[in-house]
Chain A
Amino acid sequence: MRTLGWLYMAAIFVFIFLPVVVLVLFSFQDSRLPVPPFDGPTLKWYAQVLADRGMMEALRNSLVVAVVSSAVALLLGFFAAQGLARVRLPGSALMRGLLIAPMTVSYLIIALGLLTVFNNLGFRPSLWATGIGHVVISLPLCFAILFAAMGDHQKNAERAARDLGASDLQVLFLVTAPMLKPALLAAFFLSVTFSWDEFIIAFLLTRFDVTLPVEIWSMLRSGLSPATNAIGSLVFLVSIVILILLELTVFRKSKT
């Protein structure tokens, strides 16, 4: 039984890692097709994608959209969580539901709705439009995480600060925010990864200033190439580095 368990785990791990291993291995392929037999290693495909100006532009666009949209979503979500967690308002369950709702709707539908409205208003597809869409998908996430993290413990500290004469904004940024730091960081980085990897909203709402997933998508149309493996492996590497940094800083501290 025990051996069977380990065998099962090994089999599933092979399944889980197979595409990643193939992706990374054939990014070092020497010939032009990333299929067996492997004839590398070479770094020329990495050199090619790093020298590709369109790719680097897309990378920069993705970073900007991810950071800016996550910051906006975090701010909106933080204020909303603060407002709805502290006092019972009539209809507050409804408002919570409204703020969470975009989480249950397919990104394609969110993108299509925004595209329709922007078309009618004569607002051209752009990086800005994509950013707006990414705030829509990140806001529920930030709100839910921060709302869940707010407890009575903070409420008392806030009341004390207010009694001592702090203004609303002072309470919010000098008392509440520092107490919620792990939740704020978690919400922010989760939003960044969602936006960074998001394809369909960016695909429908940008035209020339595309993001990285859209740029990779257009590479796919010209068929299989080790260059696609190379950029895919680089994106994976960056994610892993961020993940390890998070694990070592934010989550280690928040556990104690």
Chain B
Amino acid sequence: MTMEQQERRRSFSFAVPALIWTCAFFVVPFLVMLVLSLAHLEGRQIVQDYDLGNYVKIFTEPSLFKGIMVSLEITITVTILSVLLAWPLAWIIATQVPERYQRLAIMLAVLPFWTSYVVRSYAWALVLGQNGVLMQGLIAIGILDEPVQIMATRAATVIGFVHFFVMLLTLTIYSNLIQLSPNYARAAADLGASGWNTFRLVILPLTLPGIMTGAFLTFVLCIGDYITPQILGGNNELSMPQLIMLQLGRRGDFPMASALSVVLMVIVTLAYAASARWLKMERV
């Protein structure tokens, strides 16, 4: 054995424990789920007759198929709204705020990140409730005569999500913006571009990687989240994670829960494939 082979073997042995851990507790469970999704539940017994019955059911039974649509609609709305709200904030912090206060401004912008996730959704329930601060405030200043129902609707879920992801996206877009030299904008202006054209043709394309990385992250985290729709959206319309939990809780239907999870993973993979050319994932 040559020196080089020895070195390689030694290096590989360092990676082995982590690889075993990932295989045992991530890859194997996923494969088990994949197999289980082909079985189905009869009474309380799992019958191991492998077919695509669960998948057919997901796409034909309205209550299940609606979950996919609800999740997609919520996630796409949240992703778009979050980008639209976060970009200007990141841009203002990067260009209008004096440099020595920028770090402080960005830390403040993401400070509520550090509240617990469950607690943050609960706090929005406090704000948005019938007797909550928002409704009472709007009534007090005369905009509303009586409270409007927001809690337990999709609007509440979207607000809760957008709050979280505006913070996340402000961070990713800001870190992208400060790497841009101000000379780009200056050069564009010298060459006669208007403010709008400078933005549209120079600044926006240069921040696209930051936007897409953040948007992809938003998509993945949003579509897989159970807490926010459960606390804020209630049970009027169920998202996919809520449906998965429902299968587990009500009758222990692990095969159907597995099939729904596989569909969820396929959707995320498709989203990745669609945005991969803009993502800066190759760094890791």
User: Do B284 and A148 touch across chains, with their CB atoms under 8 A apart?
Assistant: yes
Residues of A within 8 A of B257 (CB): 112
Residues in A with CB closer than 8 Å to B127 are: 18-19, 22
Partner of B224, one of A100, A107, A116, A232: A107
Which of B19, B27, B29, B93 has the most chain A CB atoms inside 10 A of its CB?
B29
Is the pair A112, B258 in contact by a Cβ cutoff of 8 Å?
A: yes
Inter-chain contacts of B123 with A (CB < 8 A): 19-20, 22-23, 232
User: Cβ of B55: which chain A residues have Cβ within 8 Å of it?
Assistant: none
Q: How far is the CA of A106 from the CA of B269 in the complex (A)?
A: 12
- A132 in contact with B15 (CB, 8 Å): no
Q: CB-CB < 8 A to A148: which residues of B?
A: 283-284
A 198-241 binary contact with B (CB < 8 Å = 1; else 0):
01100010000000110011001000100011011001100110
Kindly state whether residue B212 has any CB partner on chain A within 8 Å: no
**Quick one: closest B residue to A113, CB to CB?**
B29
B residues adjacent to A (C-beta < 8 A): 7-8, 10-19, 21-23, 25-30, 32-33, 36, 85, 88-89, 92-93, 96, 108-109, 111-112, 114-120, 122-127, 129, 131-133, 136-137, 163, 166-167, 220-221, 223-227, 231, 241, 244-245, 248, 254, 257-258, 261, 264-265, 268, 272, 283-284
Please give, as numbers and ranges, the residues of chain A lying within 8 Å of B254 by CB-CB distance: 116, 119
Chain A positions 101-142 with a Cβ under 8 Å from a chain B Cβ? 101-102, 104-110, 112-114, 116-117, 119-120, 132-133, 135-136, 139
Q: Is the pair A80, B163 in contact by a Cβ cutoff of 8 Å?
A: no
In the complex, residue of chain B having the shortest beta-carbon distance to the beta carbon of A129: B25
- In the complex, which of the residues B26, B116, B122 contacts A197, with contact meaning CB atoms closer than 8 Å? B116
**Do A116 and B93 have beta carbons less than 8 Å apart?**
no
Q: Are A120 and B32 in contact (CB under 8 A)?
A: yes
| Residue contact A213 to B33, C-beta cutoff 8 Å | no
A89 partner residues in chain B, CB cutoff 8 A? 8, 11-12
Nearest chain A CB to B155 CB, angstrom units: 14
CA distance in complex: A239, B272 (Å):
32
Check if A106 sits within 8 Å of B268, measured CB to CB: yes
Minimal Cβ-Cβ distance residue in B for A82: B14
Closest residue of B by beta carbon distance from A213: B118
- What are 14 A-B pairs at a CB distance below 8 A? A5-B88, A5-B96, A19-B123, A35-B126, A79-B18, A82-B11, A98-B27, A99-B22, A101-B26, A105-B224, A108-B224, A112-B248, A117-B32, A199-B117
User: A168 on the interface (CB 8 Å rule)?
Assistant: yes
A116 near B32: Cβ-Cβ < 8 Å: yes
Chain B residues in 8 Å Cβ range of A240? 111, 114
B15 touches A80 (CB 8 A): yes
A216 nearest CB neighbor, chain B only: B118
- A242-B116 Cα distance, complex, nearest whole Å: 14
Nearest CB in chain B to that of A114: its residue: B29
- What chain A residues lie within 8 Å of B27 (beta carbons)? 98
A41 within 8 A of B: no
Counting from the closest, the 5 A-B pairs by CB-CB distance are A106-B224, A113-B29, A83-B14, A19-B123, A232-B119
Does the CB pair A136–B25 fall under 8 Å?
yes
Q: Are A22 and B133 in contact (CB under 8 A)?
A: yes
Q: How far is the CB of A188 from chain B (nearest CB, A)?
A: 16
Docked Cα-Cα span, A143 to B253, in Å, equals 35
Q: Select one of A15, A109, A144, A216 contacting B284, CB under 8 A.
A: A144
Q: Are B26 and A113 in contact (CB under 8 A)?
A: yes
CB distance A117 to B22 under 8 Å? no
Segment of A6-14, A49-57, A178-186 engaged in the interface with chain B: A6-14
A106 and B241 in contact, given A80-B14, A95-B15, A232-B122 (Cβ under 8 angstroms): yes
Point out the residues of chain B lying under 8 angstroms from A76, CB to CB: 17-18, 21
Q: B112 contacts which of A20, A108, A139 (Cβ < 8 Å)?
A: A20
Question: A190 on the interface (CB 8 Å rule)?
Answer: no
**How far, in Å, is A238 (CB) from chain B's closest CB?**
9
Q: Which residue of A lies closest to B129 (CB)?
A: A35
**Once the chains are docked, how many angstroms separate the CA of A120 from the CA of B48?**
14
